[in-house]
Amino acid sequence: MRSLSLIATVSVAVITAAAAAAAAADTNSQKVIPVSFGRSTTKQPALRRRVGTYSQELNNNLTGGGYYAQVTVGTPPQTVDLVVDTGSSDVWILDSRADLCGSKKKQNYYRYCLSTYDPSKSSTYSVVSRNDFSIRYVDGSGAEGDYIRDTFSIGGANIEHLQMGLAENSTINSGLLGIGFAANVAALTPYPNIMNLFQDQDLIAIQAYSLYLDDLYAETGTILFGGLDTQKFIGKLKTVDIEPDRSGNYSSFTVTLSSLTTTADNGTVTNYTRSVVPVILDSGTTLTYVPYTVANRIYRAFGAVDDTSRTGLVYINCEHLNNKNFTFDFQFGGKDGPIIRVPIDEMILDNVKAYIELGLDVPSLPFDNVCSFGLQGSAEYYLLGDTFLRSAYVVYDLTNKEIGLAQANLNSTESKIVEITESGIPDASGVASQVSATQTATGVPGTQSPTGTSSATPGSQSSEGASSKVVPVPSWEALVVACVASLGGFMGTGLIVL
Ligand SMILES: *[C@@H]1O[C@H](CO)[C@@H](O)[C@H](O)[C@H]1NC(C)=O
Ligand SMILES: *[C@@H]1O[C@H](CO)[C@@H](O)[C@H](O)[C@H]1NC(C)=O
Ligand SMILES: *[C@@H]1O[C@H](CO)[C@@H](O)[C@H](O)[C@H]1NC(C)=O
Ligand SMILES: *[C@@H]1O[C@H](CO)[C@@H](O)[C@H](O)[C@H]1NC(C)=O
Ligand SMILES: *[C@@H]1O[C@H](CO)[C@@H](O)[C@H](O)[C@H]1NC(C)=O
Ligand SMILES: *[C@@H]1O[C@H](CO)[C@@H](O)[C@H](O)[C@H]1NC(C)=O
């Protein structure tokens, strides 16, 4: 349902933030508190906090499309699920009295109201400013209400007095956990956002976290505040600089994509880029958006059909999935920069057949075995969303303006956590090669190249997006389209400040 937002992170009224900072406590003590999904966290004694790492499991909602973190807000704690969005910077939650939650009619358009928070049931709730919270995403979705403060817990970390939006009116069915730069908050009056408070309250040494979305078919990923997990990636973690926006501010996770090539099963490499492209790493976006020139070259090579103006999708022949070792290779920051290989079954999604049976009006296509493409063209802002991010282990260091990238070790159940200290992203090496969760015929855990296996079940997959151009209107046909969009079309990222 939600989609495309591109924008804004750069162009729109970027409000400067009092960048906070605050001296991080210098301690080597490492504290790891893994929190499993659904378990509420108990409050820590507020006596003396130690800098540590906080691991929060993320739910890859197979129908919701998007990665949710289960957090608690208020005293006593109320549990809410928030979409994790590296492309925006405000945390906001749905008020239990929000219009969407009380209207079946609205829920038919925007989906049922997920989890909400009732301020009257929290003893630590306070109002910052009435009616000042207003956030708009480029697809037209948004939320409005008050700015409030309350206690917030994630991954075992208790953050006090976090400023949040409390949505009274919303066209989005769950709140968002915006974890970008504070310079990008939607408020007219800048405020320290969650990343500032994480550091100011001595919970983590610097503003840094790692994101592991895991396999498309995996039910959970992990976000680790203040640390990284060397069991979750393959080879060396390489860093690239975050690029400032045009005004010289750091407002989004923009890095330079130096090349996008494909490697076929027979080893043939095809290069689709002719110049360096700034791209935003955005977990709140479902698909991957590259310049039209690059996308069109790739569409031609694959015989893909661009129907984004109508159904929001690019259709592609599922037969390409038979080239099991085929990869899309993204290189960042230049010749020696990190390379992330995205296996074909993370980019070509077998998720539209069920909707075609329901009556989705696909254009006439030169193939019968219809899949959708996880990569699309875009005019101005280029976003690498979940179809890219699942193949990468990404460390975001907001303090030193650096991103660490390595190939994700999919389906890893092991964990070896290293704290990120003031010196920034450590020179870390992960595991030697992919450890598959599935065993080989000999019973020896198989090692394989960073290429997934392809086995797709129609309709059972997660994220696949659709473009925002699909505005739900009350006709059956359009609703089917909207359903496809809601198969996962989340495009959080940049916001428009109204
Ligand atoms: C995930 O989707 C299911 C519907 O299949 C829904 O019941 C559940 O609440 C969703 N959870 C989250 C966190 O979105
Ligand atoms: C906003 O939501 C409130 C209920 O929370 C409702 O009374 C009001 O009509 C809504 N406003 C708009 C513009 O939809
Ligand atoms: C962001 O850019 C504007 C315009 O150049 C400048 O006035 C402002 O100070 C910058 N903000 C920060 C936080 O650097
Ligand atoms: C390698 O495979 C690609 C695509 O599958 C094909 O276009 C190309 O002709 C093949 N090249 C060789 C040398 O077999
Ligand atoms: C692809 O072409 C671009 C532009 O010519 C070049 O910078 C890049 O290094 C090439 N990629 C590879 C993997 O050769
Ligand atoms: C990861 O596990 C899922 C679910 O068990 C499986 O479908 C997928 O193929 C696995 N991926 C890899 C790369 O082993």
Low-confidence winner among 140-154, 232-246, 422-436 (lowest mean pLDDT): 422-436
Give the closest residue (by CA) to ligand 2 atom 12. Answer: 169
**From the CB of 271, is ligand 5 less than 6 Å away?**
yes
200 is an active site residue: no
User: What is the full DSSP assignment across 292-314?
Assistant: HHHHHHHHHHHT-EEETTTTSEE
Residue 153, in any domain of the structure: yes
- Residue of 215, 245, 282, 386 marked catalytic: 282
Residue 6, in any domain of the structure: no
Range of the domain at 318: 230-418
Residue 114: is its pLDDT beyond 90?
no
For residue 473, what is the enclosing H or E element? none
Same domain, 261 and 137: no
pLDDT in tens, 359-383: 888 899 999 999 999 999 998 789 9
pLDDT in tens, 289-312: 999 999 999 999 999 999 988 888
The separation between CA 122 and the C-alpha centre of its own chain, rounded to angstroms, equals 29
Sign (positive/negative) of CA torsion 5, 492, 160, 417? negative
Residue 252: predicted pLDDT: 92
CB 379 within 8 A of CB 293: no
Residue 46: predicted pLDDT: 29
Give the closest residue (by CA) to ligand 5 atom 14. Answer: 271
Which ligand ends up closest to the CA of 95?
A: 2
Residue 51: predicted pLDDT: 60
Residue 327, in any domain of the structure: yes
Question: How far, in Å, is the centroid of ligand 3 from the Cα of 333?
Answer: 25
Same domain, 191 and 294: no
Residue 57: is its pLDDT beyond 50?
yes
Give the closest residue (by CA) to ligand 3 atom 2. Answer: 247
Same domain, 244 and 156: no
Mean pLDDT of the chain: 77
Same domain, 407 and 456: no
CATH number at 278 reads 2.40.70.10
Residue 181: is its pLDDT beyond 50?
yes
**Which is higher by pLDDT, 17 or 183?**
183
- Overall domain count for the chain: 2
Phi, psi of 210 (to 5 degrees): -120, 145
**From the CB of 114, is ligand 1 less than 6 Å away?**
yes
Residue 61: predicted pLDDT: 56
Low-confidence winner among 335-344, 386-395, 435-444 (lowest mean pLDDT): 435-444
Residue 65: predicted pLDDT: 58
Burial 447-479 (b: 16+ CB within 10 A, else e): eeebbbebebebbebbbbbbbbebebeeeeeeb
Question: How far, in Å, is the centroid of ligand 2 from the Cα of 94?
Answer: 13
Phi, psi of 194 (to 5 degrees): -60, -35
Residue 486: predicted pLDDT: 39
**From the CB of 496, is ligand 3 less than 6 Å away?**
no
Find residue 78's DSSP bridge partners.
73
**From the CB of 215, is ligand 1 less than 6 Å away?**
no
Domain boundary residue, one of 403, 418, 433: 418
**From the CB of 266, is ligand 4 less than 6 Å away?**
yes
Identify the band that residue 480 occupies on the pLDDT scale cut at 50, 70 and 90.
Answer: very low
- Residue of 81, 85, 150, 345 marked catalytic: 85
Which ligand ends up closest to the CA of 84?
A: 1
Same domain, 339 and 412: yes
Residue 225, in any domain of the structure: no
85 is an active site residue: yes
**Token pair for 87:** 């492309």
Domain boundary residue, one of 384, 403, 418: 418
Residue 438: is its pLDDT beyond 60?
no
Same domain, 202 and 350: no
User: Among 12, 16, 196, 245, which residue has the most ligand 3 atoms within 8 Å of its CB, making it the best to mutate?
Assistant: 16
Residue 257: is its pLDDT beyond 80?
yes
Same domain, 39 and 137: yes
Residue 187: is its pLDDT beyond 50?
yes
Same domain, 407 and 308: yes
Which ligand ends up closest to the CA of 101?
A: 2
Identify the band that residue 110 occupies on the pLDDT scale cut at 50, 70 and 90.
Answer: confident
Q: How many CB atoms lie within 10 A of CB 361?
A: 13
Residue 140: predicted pLDDT: 72
Which ligand ends up closest to the CA of 323?
A: 4
Please state the rounded mean pLDDT for residues 410-433: 92
**From the CB of 267, is ligand 4 less than 6 Å away?**
no
Give the closest residue (by CA) to ligand 1 atom 3. Answer: 63
Q: Full-prediction pTM beyond 0.85?
A: no
